[in-house]
Amino acid sequence: MTESSDAVEFGSTDPRNGVPTLSLDVLSREQQLAVNCDDHPLRILAGPGAGKTRVLTNRIARRVNEGSADARRILALTFTRRAANELRTRLNKMGIRDLGGVGTFHSTALSQIRQYRADHGKRPPTVLASRRPILSELIGDFPNLQLPMATIEIDWLNSQNLTADEYRHRPGVMRVGEKLASQIASLQTTFVAYKKRRGLLDFDDILVECTSLLKSDKAFRDAQHWVFRHFFVDEFQDLNPVQFDLLRSWLGDRTDLCIVGDPDQSIYGWNGADSSLLSDFNDYFPSAKTVSLLDNHRSQPQIIRAANAVLGRTSEETSDEIVVGKPPTTSSFPTETAEAIGIAQYLREVRAPETHWSSHAVLARTNGQLALIAQIFDQLKLPYRFRGQGGILKRPEVKDLVDQLCLSDSNFSALANDLFEELDRGPQKRIAELAVQYARENFNASGSAFRDWLRTLRPGDFEHPIDGVDLATFHSAKGLEWPSVIIAGLEEGFVPIRADDPEERRLLYVAVSRAQQRLHLTWSKSREHGGVTRTREPSPWLSLIAASVRNPAEMSRDLTTQYLAEARRNLDLGIQGDAASRNQRLTSWIDRTARARRIEPSALLPKHLISEVAEQFPTNLSELADITGLGEARLSRVGPEILKVIASDEPKAN
């Protein structure tokens, strides 16, 4: 959906010389209202595709430009490093530099703790990569506790800012029962003592310690209040009580605060997030003004209708109203393996050869589902990348690189830049990129501080750019968007797990609203769970989406065609898409086509490049050009045909 026709370019001109003072984005009328509002505190309620990042950046730029905010005194808080970097990049392009702070709650708090300890001659903190290894060691003293459940409960009580004794009573009893609540409280007490003896902080301790310092040390509090005076917070519906307490401590009695959030995208209640902090914002800040952004500038109307239908909302329209855009489509499959194959076929059908695979995403409820899809994609040679998984820090080559950086306190910045230039691609390149970013944003950047900073990041912050179909869970997809989205595993008891849970609806709403132009929904009639294969029924919410489509018959898409049978056979044989097969197809096509067109075979593709193309399996014209070095004219003439041949969809010779 495009911006409204009455959108205008927001900016100003110096009357003395007629030179534009700042060039900002093109904004719709309602976006302008949010950008220009002078009230604070300000709550901006923004649904999917409403342009909240655009509004936030333009609001900051407008205030800096007019002098009502000092860029050096701004603190903009996001939930991922990725979002923070996007915010900073956009502001830099607008000419707004020397920003006081753009980061996550955890990275900002850790920086302040390190500064406090340095000022008081204390050792910097050591941040745990994970609390799980220590808990697994301590839990042996509590035979009735299982590690997964204990970890979840300790995560939750920390997010709610509860002490062990507070959890032991009503909150814990309501969640797990009296006996288990008592043991979890005791485990937490033991864990806290363990960390204190060894001078360790875990992920949640960072926020608690910073808040405690702000409340107990007046000099430290006054210093932070002087440094940061203007506050902007994104994704406010995801705040937990600990983060909110820290924010209020940073604010003090000041009110220069702008928040952005969407109650319909509150999907982290299980992890301690409290969406009531957004809905009840005026209870905490009675003078706050609210501005709503209702227009979706991301998705086609048919997708917007489908997303609203999941929440139980219906669109008001007349019977003769034209509904723009492709309706969502659905497919069912006999097994989860067939579903993965069908998804691969769908992607091959809808992707144009010259476009990027990363324009498409497959979203699923769990990482287990995505693992099977990735396995099938591997065997069918379909490129993919995981989004929102931070496991790269566990790779030996990445560990070695981090160790190298962390030992370079005196020349950290120089080493980070050198590694960034030397490394070509992959996860090591991403770590080097993060090191460069950290060095630019921290005047006294050091290796030891960089290691702790890495531990404040979320999984999605470690992603590195390769072209492949994005595989993501519903949760990790939040904040992202794609032209084409496939949502897999839409089965009863799975999506939703509990039909009476409003957060389950919001979770699917988030997934559906990631799509811009095309949405495809799949489900399997049987699925393995816990080693047992069970019959499945379609999600009841598929019928809600079907009801939102003007002609529900348009939704059905039969992918159980001859291709699926052939793909399954080839998959079982393990030959589909391998290099030898691609080499044979390409050689055969070149010989046949050269004869038909009465040209030399080398005019299509030189013989020495055939094996190279077959081995590296390019998926778009850019990749093909990098591999072959073909000129632009030949590439545009034969490139699409070559891509089709190696994808086992041979064009006819003519």
Confidence of residue 546 (pLDDT cuts 50, 70, 90): confident
Taking only Cα atoms into account, the Rg of the chain, rounded to an integer number of angstroms, comes to 27
Q: Quick one: which of 428, 443, 422 has its CA closest to 395? A: 428
Q: Give the pLDDT score at 425.
A: 62
Q: Is the peptide bond before 601 cis (omega within 30 degrees of 0)?
A: no
Average confidence (pLDDT) over 531-544: 87
Q: Give the pLDDT score at 123.
A: 86
Query: How would you label 51-73 residue by residue, b for 16+ Cβ within 10 Å and e otherwise?
Result: bbbbbbbbbbbbbbbeeebebeb
Confidence of residue 397 (pLDDT cuts 50, 70, 90): low
Could you give the 3-state DSSP secondary structure of residue 559?
A: coil
Average confidence (pLDDT) over 312-319: 60
Confidence of residue 11 (pLDDT cuts 50, 70, 90): very low
602: left (phi over 0), alpha (psi -120 to 50) or beta: alpha
Average confidence (pLDDT) over 180-198: 92
Lowest mean pLDDT among 43-57, 59-73, 270-284, 620-634: 620-634
Q: Give the pLDDT score at 10.
A: 43
Q: Give the pLDDT score at 13.
A: 39
Is 318 or 317 the better-scoring residue by pLDDT?
317
Is 387 or 91 the better-scoring residue by pLDDT?
91
Here the tokens at position 216 are: 């107990």
Query: How would you label 115-124 residue by residue, b for 16+ Cβ within 10 Å and e otherwise?
Result: bbeeeeeeeb
Report the distance separating Cα 236 and Cα 241, nearest Å.
11
Q: Give the pLDDT score at 575.
A: 41
Q: Give the pLDDT score at 458.
A: 66
Helix/strand/coil percent split, the chain, to 5: 55, 15, 30
Q: Give the pLDDT score at 212.
A: 95
Q: Give the pLDDT score at 7.
A: 40
Contacts of 276 (CB under 8 A, 6+ apart): none
225 has a pLDDT exceeding 90: yes
Full strand arrangement of the beta sheet holding 515-524: 329-333, 515-524, 482-487, 360-364, 469-473, 384-386
Lowest mean pLDDT among 27-36, 58-67, 145-154, 529-538: 529-538
- pLDDT tens-digit map of 100-142: 888 899 989 999 998 999 899 998 888 887 788 899 889 988 8
Report the distance separating Cα 331 and Cα 567, nearest Å.
17
3-class DSSP string for 39-85 = CCCEEEEECCCCCHHHHHHHHHHHHHHHCCCCHHHEEEEECCHHHHH
Q: Give the pLDDT score at 464.
A: 61
Average confidence (pLDDT) over 524-546: 86
247 has a pLDDT exceeding 90: yes
Q: Give the pLDDT score at 603.
A: 86
Average confidence (pLDDT) over 511-526: 93
Q: Give the pLDDT score at 323.
A: 58
Lowest mean pLDDT among 280-284, 364-368, 441-445, 561-565: 561-565
pTM for the predicted model, two decimal places: 0.75
Could you give the 3-state DSSP secondary structure of residue 293?
A: strand
Average confidence (pLDDT) over 596-602: 86
Average confidence (pLDDT) over 630-648: 82
CA 263 to the chain's CA centroid: 18
Report the distance separating Cα 433 and Cα 450, nearest Å.
12
Quote the mean pLDDT of the chain: 83
Q: Give the length of the chain.
A: 654
Q: Give the pLDDT score at 454.
A: 74
Is 132 or 529 the better-scoring residue by pLDDT?
132
Confidence of residue 623 (pLDDT cuts 50, 70, 90): confident
pLDDT over 70, % of the chain:
84
Backbone angles phi, psi at 13, to 5 degrees: -125, 135
- pLDDT tens-digit map of 474-494: 988 988 899 999 999 999 988
Classify strands 230-233 and 74-78 as parallel, antiparallel or unpaired.
parallel
189 has a pLDDT exceeding 70: yes
Backbone angles phi, psi at 535, to 5 degrees: -70, 140
Is 617 or 109 the better-scoring residue by pLDDT?
109
Confidence of residue 451 (pLDDT cuts 50, 70, 90): confident
In which residue are the tokens 């997964």 written? 148
Is 512 or 21 the better-scoring residue by pLDDT?
512
Q: Give the pLDDT score at 512.
A: 95
Is 98 or 18 the better-scoring residue by pLDDT?
98
Report the distance separating Cα 188 and Cα 139, nearest Å.
10
Average confidence (pLDDT) over 31-45: 93
Here the tokens at position 587 are: 């050689």
